[in-house]
Amino acid sequence: MTRLPLAASLIALAAASPALAQDKTLTISVYGIAQDAYKEALYAPFEAKCGCTLVVETGNSSERLAKLEANAAAPVVDVIAFSDANALEAANKGLLAPIDPAAVPNMAGIYDFAKDPIGGHMAVGYTFYGTSIVYRSDEVTIESWLDLFKPELAGYVALPNITTTQGPITLYMLEKALGKDDPGFADALDLVAAHKGDIVTFYERGSQIPQLLQQEEILAAVVGRFGWANIAKLGMPVAWATPKEGQTGGMNVLAMTKGAKDPALAQQFIDYWLSAEVQQTLAEGLVDSPVNTAVEVSDEVAEGLTYGPETAAAIHFLPAADQIAHRDAWLEGWNAKVAQ
């Protein structure tokens, strides 16, 4: 039997197994929800497409941002999924690298608001959601955000606490409904404070709302669209309001970390996530509302999503810069006027 020197053996092995020789790994940091669905629709197909391995880290936003900052000198994560405000905070700390639109051609096919939501091409939106008012349509009508404070709804309304994702954007729309444009939400805070005795609860979790509606403790509540499917299943006469001032909502984005090991592969992954194919599958699975405008779903599926150009155009997003600049003041004002 002929024996090759070790070096020659390794060369021969590499030649016989080019995939082993060119092994590529991409580490992504994402929210922990719906990971089985993401694996099937996104992770596994991308690994097959790129001949690479995805390492997936999960956690809440604050944990993942802290980890990103702690590892700034030697980044572990290549691509991170965040809210737009979290991404701007990371960008301001020098933790992100700009995305080259030429390297992400599917960016051209998404809604304009998602293409560069925090500026400098430091992030790109991959999903969004609307937030509005759900209400018992057999009991009341809702045509404005100010209708939450109508006399007939006193003692039958649930609003989100300021510490929740929905809290600040609710104040944002109340400020708009009052005809004001104060990023500090002073008038909206005064309005809520004046009616705080009429609010059943300032909820911490959206999962509380279906039960409150079912028990007829409330007739109206502010909720994100992602909670609508469970509310619609109650078998009660409930409706999703389209207030004259519009809806609000939020956006999740993808960003590439500064010092990513393989920027080309990172941007290839971002591009794939934005593709009509992936966005279609995730939408049909009721995982994410699509930003890719080529996605088309049935009316039944659309009911569980924030879907379509008309809906997208009606959403007023609270700017990420305002969220960062004023969140401490909002909390202070809430504690002084509402929570006391």
Same domain, 244 and 152: yes
Total of domains in the chain:
2
Same domain, 122 and 143: no
Q: What proportions of the chain, in percent to the nearest 5, are helix, strand and coil?
A: 45, 20, 35
What is the DSSP secondary structure assignment for residue 153, as one 8-state letter? G
- Which residues, in sequence order, are CB contacts of 233 under 8 Å at separation 6+? none
Q: In this predicted structure, what is the pLDDT of residue 22?
A: 52
Same domain, 330 and 243: yes
Q: Does residue 314 belong to any structural domain of this protein? A: no
Task: Collapse the DSSP code of 174 into the 3-class scheme (helix H, G, I; strand E, B; otherwise coil) and give the result.
Answer: helix
User: In angstroms, rounded to a whole number, what is the distance separating the alpha carbons of residues 276 and 293?
Assistant: 8
AA letter at 339 = A
Same domain, 141 and 263: no
User: In angstroms, rounded to a whole number, what is the distance separating the alpha carbons of residues 213 and 57?
Assistant: 36
Angstrom CA distances, 45 to 21, 37, 39, 168, 312, stand at 21, 12, 8, 37, 28
pLDDT, mean of each 10-residue run, the chain (340 residues): 37 39 84 95 98 95 93 96 96 98 98 97 98 97 98 97 95 98 96 98 94 97 93 94 96 97 98 98 97 97 95 95 96 95
Q: Does residue 48 belong to any structural domain of this protein? A: yes
Rounded to 5°, angle at Cα 58 from 53 and 63? 135
What tokens does 261 get?
A: 């090991």
What is the DSSP secondary structure assignment for residue 54, as one 8-state letter? E
Residue range(s) defining the domain that contains residue 165: 129-249+319-337
Strand runs (DSSP E) across 149-192, as ranges? 157-160
Q: In this predicted structure, what is the pLDDT of residue 279?
A: 98
Same domain, 87 and 135: no
H or E element in which residue 250 lies: strand 247-257
Give the residue from 213, 289, 214, 265 showing the smallest Cα distance to 47.
265
Q: Does residue 176 belong to any structural domain of this protein? A: yes
Same domain, 87 and 14: yes
Same domain, 237 and 260: no
Same domain, 224 and 282: no
Q: In this predicted structure, what is the pLDDT of residue 7?
A: 38
Phi, psi of 237 (to 5 degrees): -75, 85
Domain with 197 in it: what CATH number? 3.40.190.10
Q: Does residue 183 belong to any structural domain of this protein? A: yes
Q: Does residue 313 belong to any structural domain of this protein? A: no
User: In angstroms, rounded to a whole number, what is the distance separating the alpha carbons of residues 251 and 129?
Assistant: 7
Place of tokens 């939501």: 117
Same domain, 239 and 326: yes
Same domain, 325 and 198: yes
Partners of residue 27 on adjacent β-strands? 55
Same domain, 177 and 282: no
- 3-state SS of 85-109 is HHHHHHHHCCCEECCCHHHCHHHHH
Q: Does residue 312 belong to any structural domain of this protein? A: no
Same domain, 328 and 214: yes
